């Protein structure tokens, strides 16, 4: 029975091999191999069907992805893989998309200073300055003058603030 399984698997491998004249094999960097090993463990069926139906296709996809992955360490790739697995558990990233996964590694390692206001692009003013000048120009064009502050009569408020305690004596608050 083992021989039958071996023959079937070898026949399947031969049927899916690329029979082109080129026998070039690629040597990939450690980050690329590490990333694709994680993808293979995270998406076993999709990986064998989409990425690696043949060794040549897998090498081509790895070679195309190398320029995006070569600068990352294992820890940085792990951050992206953790994000991918979390999204997969939440019902997203269900199908393998190599480009989306590379983007997840990139995004997981971006440092964002969310507490700081973004500077205005070069040659442009900040949005707040644009809004102020827009409304100033609109007032000038429509000949509208800013409203004068109104004086509030506080006598009614002062009487409301006067309270009466239980004995009937008036006290000012």
More confident residue, 157 or 122: 122
Mean pLDDT of 84-91: 89
What pLDDT does 124 receive? 66
Mean pLDDT of 7-18: 47
What pLDDT does 18 receive? 43
CA dihedral 87, 91, 92, 94 (to 10 degrees): 110
**How far from each other are the two terminal CA atoms of the chain, in whole angstroms?**
98
Residues 6+ apart with CB under 8 A from 29: 66, 69, 70
**pLDDT tens digits for range 37-75:** 898 888 888 888 888 888 888 888 888 889 999 889 999
- Whether the Cβ atoms of residue 79 and residue 108 lie closer than 8 Å to each other: yes
Name the token pair of 63.
């070679």
* Closest alpha carbon to 32 in 64, 56, 80, 57: 64
Which of 35-39, 91-95, 145-149, 164-168 has the least mean pLDDT? 164-168
* Prediction pTM value: 0.49
Residue-range domain boundaries for the chain:
25-108
């Amino acid at each position: 029975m083992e021989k039958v399984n071996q023959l079937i698997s070898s026949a399947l491998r031969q049927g899916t091999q690329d029979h082109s004249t080129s026998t070039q094999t690629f040597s990939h960097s450690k980050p690329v191999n590490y990333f694709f090993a994680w993808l293979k463990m995270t998406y076993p069926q999709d990986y064998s069907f989409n990425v690696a139906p043949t060794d040549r296709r897998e090498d081509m996809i790895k070679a195309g992805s190398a320029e995006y992955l070569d600068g990352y360490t294992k820890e940085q790739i792990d951050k992206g893989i953790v994000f991918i697995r979390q999204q997969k558990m939440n019902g997203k990233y269900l199908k393998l998309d190599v480009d989306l996964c590379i983007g997840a590694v990139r995004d997981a390692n971006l440092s964002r200073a969310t507490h700081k206001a973004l500077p205005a692009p070069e040659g442009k003013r900040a949005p707040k300055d644009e809004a102020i000048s827009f409304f100033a120009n609109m007032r000038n064009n429509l000949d509208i003058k800013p409203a004068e502050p109104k004086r509030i009569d506080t006598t009614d408020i002062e009487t409301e603030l006067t309270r009466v305690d239980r004995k009937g004596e008036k006290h000012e608050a």
